[in-house]
Amino acid sequence: MNLFASFMLTSMFMLLLPIIMSNTQLYKNNLYPHYVKTTISYAFAISMIPAMMFVSSGQETIVSNWHWLSIQTLKLSLSFKLDYFSIIFIPVALFVTWSIMEFSMWYMHTDPHINRFFKYLLMFLITMMILVTANNLFQLFIGWEGVGIMSFLLIGWWYGRADANTAALQAILYNRIGDVGFITAMAWFLANMNAWDFQQIFITQHKNLNIPLLGLLLAATGKSAQFGLHPWLPSAMEGPTPVSALLHSSTMVVAGVFLLIRFHPLMEQNKTMQTLTLCLGAITTLFTAICALTQNDIKKIVAFSTSSQLGLMIVTIGINQPYLAFLHICTHAFFKAMLFMCSGSIIHSLNDEQDIRKMGGLYKPMPFTTSSLIIGSLALTGMPFLTGFYSKDLIIETANTSYTNAWALSVTLIATSLTAAYSTRIMFFALLGQPRFNSLSPINENNPHLINSIKRLLVGSIFAGYLISHNIPPTTIPQMTMPHYLKLTALAMTITGFILALELNLAAKNLKFKYPSNLFKFSNLLGYFPTVMHRLPSTMSLTMSQKSASMLLDMIWLESVLPKSISHFQMKMSTIVSNQKGLVKLYFLSFMITLTLSLLLLSFHE
Amino acid sequence: MSMVYVNMFLAFIMSLMGLLMYRSHLMSSLLCLEGMMLSLFIMMTVTILNNHFTLASMTPIILLVFAACEAALGLSLLVMVSNTYGTDYVQNLNLLQC
């Protein structure tokens, strides 16, 4: 009987304290951000204790606290599942959030509502924790919706800007479409298995699980911005950089992948779902990598990079490797958050300049940001023995040696080389060459909040992969033997991408093209997807409803068919047919004379 | 036949004359049409009541209904003519420009 569950629940409860304190005087002074940051660092420290207990002994716990209600035969209770996935994810998420909180103390320093910003970030973190530790689908749904709402509030932080409001609404709408899938799955589980608890769902045998798994895949597509429901993620870059770093790189967008990982006992049996997942992830990763190649906003490039890595995680689930996908989630959080923070540092130093065509030559004035950006990009592309290598290289090796869809595999490999290409593009435009920005902005990296937070994530980006992958309990066995050309595939694709991108950038540095080619336009306009899908269906449905309701019913059926057509017909016929002259009195007189004459004649007829 | 019937038949003939011979207003022929309908109604009712012809007791009501319809039709025609010309003089009807 150790303190495993107590420590974990203490760590979760500590996160609630600043929210509870927000009614007091503490919320109104300017020490509140510092208070929140320290709370999260202590919560991280305390949550490391159960993590180390799990590492050394493999102990997992399920805590069922409070029986909320029973709806006929369904029992809903507050229950926390502290298993492999939760215990490792919570310290990682808390560590990254700690660094982001410290970073936003520097980034949002001049914002008058900074206390509210920190409260929103903390509420987001709490709902993410609820999502991750949920043991039944209802609690997971509470966390799911919670992160969606906080994402809306945080993307629209600068709500005076119309683009920010549109982006926040877009995020909500696309997530809602995914929620339809989630609720379908919940309803199916309720109707067929009478349970929303994971344990009961995984034990009951069922022949055909296609419907709930399709619903869960749709939910993951919405939340994790897979192809078809992806435009909200680049638009979500309208929010401040800490929001992009926390929500849209490490934590919220992996909720969809996390959901599929939670349901891996069900997905293992179903080959159809695995193929669907694989193809969806493959097309996502390729499409978003293509779109990232020609974007000009640094945050959008990193957002598309996130989207591409999410596609890679979905591909990993599709080849039936949920543990590898989870490892990639954990390692990806480190370097992606750091990439966002470095771009935030660059943006702030250049006086809110986000276009990479107007940056350049930053390696001399900002050496620390430069080196962390380069290390983050190298970790992203899977340079051997940095963080990304331990998850990404394993994924590519496993995909290469498994009996899988050849198209999905080749597409994933192409996307790997494109990852290196757009990373090179960021580094080339933002850091190298001669400066292209205004010379009046004060560029410095003096603030210790900025330096310490990026430094922490830098150390994490270099060592976390090794530390995590050597301390976790063994799960599925990775493929140990393969031909040497398969082993070197990921490295070769990455190096190809680097070299190609570097050559192209150097060769075309001072050239100007007059007319963009079709391929460029396809990539720059995000594959025409938002342009078409945001305008065409709404125009068509509104026009169709106007035509059917107003034109068809009112104008045609009620007005034209009987009344107007009869009058029109009669008038036309009367003018065509009649040749009367309208001498009414004469006609009446002749009628009367005929009548009288016939009466007289016939009455005196015998 | 009895005096009542002769009386009503004479009223009918008077209205018919009025319908067929009018000077200038279309409205006067419509009024005479109403008079014809009135005399027909009274004649029918008295006949049915005197002969205790109970099964035909509904025919006066039906006659009234149809009389109302035709009065409405006649009035609408009058209104159409009056819309175009401002008056209902019969001499306006010779150009077929309703």
pLDDT score, position B52: 94
Alpha carbon distance A166, A333 (integer Å)? 27
Distance CA A293, CA A282 (A): 17
CATH of B1-90, one of 3.40.50.1370, 1.20.1440.230, 1.10.287.3510, 3.50.50.60: 1.10.287.3510
Asked if A512 is an interface residue toward chain B (Cβ–Cβ < 8 A), one would say: no
Residues in A touching B95 (Cβ below 8 Å)? 582
Which A positions 564-593 lie with beta carbon below 8 A of chain B?
A: 575, 578, 580-585, 588-589, 591-592
Q: Residue A426 is encoded by which pair of tokens?
A: 């960021």
Numbered residues of chain B with Cβ closer than 8 Å to any chain A Cβ: 16-17, 19-22, 29, 90, 93-96
**pLDDT tens readout for residues A363-401:** 889 999 999 999 999 999 988 888 888 999 999 999 998
| pLDDT single digits (tens) B49-73 | 999 999 999 999 999 999 999 999 9
Dist CA A22 CA A38 (whole Å): 16
Among B19, B23, B85, B93, the residue to mutate for chain A (most A Cβ within 10 A): B93
Tell me the HSE value of A411 on the side-chain side, using a 13 A CA sphere: 22
Cβ of A581 and B16 within 8 Å? no
Which residue, among A124, A391, A353, has the nearest Cα to A248 in the 3D structure?
A: A124
All residue ranges of chain A with pLDDT < 70 are 1, 580-582, 606
- Report the C-alpha gap between A411 and A399 in whole angstroms: 11
Give the angle subtended at the CA of A457 by the CAs of A453 and A462, to the nearest 5°.
150
**Gap between the Cα atoms of A120 and A97, Å rounded:** 13
Q: How many CB atoms lie within 10 A of CB B63?
A: 15
The beta-carbon neighbor of B94 closest among A575, A583, A592 is: A583
Q: How many CA atoms lie within 13 A of A283 on its CB side?
A: 12
Confidence at residue B67, expressed as pLDDT on a 0 to 100 scale: 96
- CB-nearest to A582 from B21, B29, B95 is B95
Task: Report domain extents, chain B.
Answer: 1-90
For residues A210 and B57, what is the distance between their CA atoms, to the nearest angstrom?
A: 75
Residues 6+ apart with CB under 8 A from A392: A312, A328, A382, A416, A490
Q: Strand pairing partners for A67?
A: A77
Q: Is the dihedral of CA A111, A112, A114, A119 positive or negative?
A: negative
Give the CB-side neighbour count of residue B83, counting CA atoms within 13 A: 8
d(C-alpha A37, C-alpha A235), whole Å: 28
> What pLDDT shows up at residue B1?
67
Tell me the C-alpha distance between A155 and A149, whole Å: 10
| pLDDT at B94 (0 to 100) | 67
Q: Tell me phi and psi for residue B49, to 5 degrees.
A: -70, -40
Cβ partners under 8 Å of residue A484, min gap 6: none
CA angle (A597 as vertex; A594, A603 as ends), nearest 5: 130
CB A87 within 8 A of CB A51: yes
pLDDT for A441? 82
Cβ distance B93 to A584 less than 8 Å, yes or no, reads: yes
Q: Where are the beta strands (DSSP E) in A126-222?
A: none
A29's CB contacts (< 8 A; 6+ apart) are: none
User: Which residue in the set A578, A581, A592 is minimally distant from B17, CB to CB?
Assistant: A592
Residue A228 corresponds to which amino acid?
G
Chain A residues touching residue B93 (CB < 8 angstroms): 582, 584
Residues of B in contact with A591 (CB under 8 A): 20
Residue in B17, B29, B96 closest to A582 by CB = B96
- Local confidence band at B41 (pLDDT 50, 70, 90 cut-offs): very high
Quick one: closest CA in A to B21, which residue?
A589
Burial of B34 (0-12, 13-18, 19+ CB in 10 A): middle
DSSP structure class, residue A83: S
Q: Kindly state the DSSP code that residue A477 receives in the 8-state scheme.
A: P
Model confidence, pTM: 0.79
CB-CB neighbours of A450 under 10 Å: 24
Distance of CA A333 to the CA centre of its chain: 14
Instruction: List CB contacts (< 8 A) between B17 and chain A.
Output: 592
Size of interface A-B (CB pairs under 8 A): 28
pLDDT tens sequence across A188-200:
999 988 888 888 8
